[in-house]
Structure 1
Amino acid sequence: MLKAVLFVQNLDIAFALLGLLVGLPVLIVIYILGLLDTGAPLFRQTRVGRDKRPFTLVKFRTMGVDTASVATHLASRASITRLGAFLRKTKLDELPQLWNVLKGEMSLVGPRPNLLNQDELIAERTVRGVYSVRPGITGLAQVRGIDMSTPALLAEADQKMIRSLSISLYFTLILQTALGRGAGDRVVH
């Protein structure tokens, strides 16, 4: 088990570094488009990490700067910008999280990090031991379309993923995400 964990951590670092280097032109273009779109292309938000330690998650901004800092499923669809809609659909808004992976705050695969004020989800995840691992950019719940609007179901999927995580599942979830499986968090219409 420890060998698998160390192997995955090394894969995370290698893939995050490769992704940032190869994706640098795309990151720069999105950053410039984001400047034109909202004036503030990067979105930073405090999230709950491994062992419930808070960390600052970095993403490309997909909503207006004045949008309330709430879980995505509680935000209004009207707050999503045109560029933001494209970034969400293609999942390119997640690219800056590769920096979080390099810093050791996240993994490529793991439970999506939640906000500090999502008490019901925190309780469900605590009972199931979900905070014993680093949160991830993608995971089983994401490819199955389970979002944070259903805390118990999400925590169950996270627990199942953690218990069954293997190198094969790690690559399967990354591939499914890259191929567009899962819809991400729902947004209020």
Structure 2
Amino acid sequence: GFPAGSEFLWPFHHRYYWDLTQRIYREELDPDFDGPLEAGRPFCAPGTPVCDADYDYASRPDAVREAVSRIALTGRIGKPLVTVHGTLDVLLPISRDSDVYARMVADAGRGRLFRYYRVDGGTHVDSLFDAFPDRLRPLLPCHRAAFTALEEWIGRGVQPPPGRTIPRPASAGPEELLTSCPLAP
């Protein structure tokens, strides 16, 4: 599910996020998986007893699925919602996360309340922009633009531009990328 072209981000996310995130969420939703051990064994190899690398959700007790269902998304939104997601997110891959949620909202018939902006070159953490300014686009300016649009939508009834993929301007330098993210073409 990781986006093509994101391979250069994998080492950083492996070192700092993937294992930790898996163990934190698994511990919250299925604390009995590893018994008294809290949040599993960091960076364990498959085959290690109670290793999150071997976690099999389908084989877990019904209580685990019930815990997940209590926080599961439905797409049945009741208020305006704006989602901003980077196309190079390797913590929550866009094809497995926001793309799926956008379909859920549409399938629930709530598309009129939803705007979805896919940010070309955005990843999960803007701190990586400094390391890869030629490949990434910071999301903060896009979040600001989206939040302003949401305020206008809720407060004054001004609908935001239709959802779309916001391109990373080829000619934009770091200063422009750090300060601008137009939602409309």
- Taking CA–CA contacts closer than 8 Å with sequence separation of 6 or more, which of the two structures ends up with the larger relative contact order? 1
More helix by share: 1
Fold agreement, TM-score > 0.5: no
Normalised to the residue count of structure 1, the TM-score between the two structures is 0.32
